Amino acid sequence: MDRDEILERVREVVSDVLGVNLQDVALESRFAEDLGAESIQSVELVAAFEEEFDVELDEEAALQVQTVGRAVDFIAEALEEQSAE
């Protein structure tokens, strides 16, 4: 799976979980400041990413991710680690 595909799927999950328009979800968008995520929604996002990508994420580390672009990187890294096992 390439980064563009990961980005599109991340954008869709963020749009669904946070109830924002897909076109408002950009690579540089910050979850809390730009997209209005509250702490409980951050946990929901992590769970939704795990389900969408069938990957287990370090929740503590995942909750430190602040932007859509960083989420893409974080998920890409997790997918690489999982495929290497």
pLDDT of the residue at 31: 97
Provide the number of structural domains found in the chain: 1
pTM of this structure: 0.94
Domain of 77 in residue numbering reads as 3-84
Nearest-CA neighbor of 49 among 18, 21, 10, 5?
Answer: 10
pLDDT digits (tens, 9 = 90+) for 48-57: 999 999 999 9
**pLDDT one-digit tens code per residue, 16-48:** 999 999 999 999 999 999 999 999 999 999 999
Residue 18 pLDDT: 98
Q: What mean pLDDT value characterizes the chain?
A: 96
Distance CA 75, CA 71 (A): 6
| CATH number of 31's domain | 1.10.1200.10
* Average pLDDT, integer, range 57-83: 96
Distances (CA, A) of 46 to 68, 73: 12, 14
Task: Using the predicted structure, report yes or no on whether residue 85 has a pLDDT greater than 90.
Answer: no
